[in-house]
Amino acid sequence: MNKKEQLINFSFVAPALAIFSFFYIIPFFYTFWLSLHKASPTNVLDLNFVGAQNFKDIFSPQIFIVLVAVVGIFLILFALKNKFQKLSLNNKKGLAQTLQFATIAIGGACLIYAATTFITISRQAIDFNPDLQWWNSVRRSFYITLWGLTFQNCLAFILALGVDRATRTGKLYRVIFFLLPVLGEVIIGLLLRIMLSHYPGVFNHLLENIGLGQWAQNWLGKDMALATLAVSHCWRGFGYGFIILLAGLQTIPEQLYEAARIDGANAWHRFTKITVPMLVPIIFLVIILTILGTVQIIGLPMALTRGGPAGKTTVSVLRIFYDLNNSHVGYASAEGLILGLILVTLSFGMLKISKKMKS
Contact between 101 and 139 (Cβ < 8 Å): no
Q: Whole-number minimum distance, CB 126 to other proteins, in Å?
A: 27
Residues from 16 through 35 that contact other proteins (CB under 8 A): 16-17, 19-20, 22-28, 30-31, 34
The alpha carbon torsion through 170, 171, 176, 180 (nearest 10 deg) reads 100
Stretch of 96-104, 111-119, 123-131, 343-351 lying at the interface with other proteins (CB under 8 A): 343-351
> For other proteins, which is the closer residue by CB, 103 or 305?
305
Q: Whole-number minimum distance, CB 127 to other proteins, in Å?
A: 28
> For other proteins, which is the closer residue by CB, 59 or 238?
238
Cα–Cα distance list, 108 to 36, 77, 114, 137 (Å): 21, 11, 10, 34
Stretch of 9-17, 82-90, 104-112, 220-228 lying at the interface with other proteins (CB under 8 A): 9-17
Measure the CA–CA gap between 3 and 108, rounded to whole angstroms. 45
Measure the CA–CA gap between 283 and 286, rounded to whole angstroms. 5
Cα–Cα distance list, 283 to 64, 178, 180, 184 (Å): 36, 18, 21, 25
Contact between 303 and 23 (Cβ < 8 Å): no
Residues from 297 through 336 that contact other proteins (CB under 8 A): 298-299, 302-303, 306, 316-317, 320-321, 324, 329, 332-333, 336
Q: Whole-number minimum distance, CB 222 to other proteins, in Å?
A: 19
Residues from 171 through 200 that contact other proteins (CB under 8 A): 173-187, 190-195, 200
Examine residue 36 and tell whether it contacts other proteins (CB under 8 A): no
Q: Which of 51, 162, 277, 349 binds other proteins (CB under 8 A)?
A: 162
Give helix 316-325 / helix 132-147 axis angle, nearest 10°. Answer: 140
Examine residue 144 and tell whether it contacts other proteins (CB under 8 A): no
**Which among 50, 106, 53, 56 has a CA at the least distance from the CA of 77?**
106
Residues from 215 through 274 that contact other proteins (CB under 8 A): 235, 240, 243-244, 247
Examine residue 344 and tell whether it contacts other proteins (CB under 8 A): yes
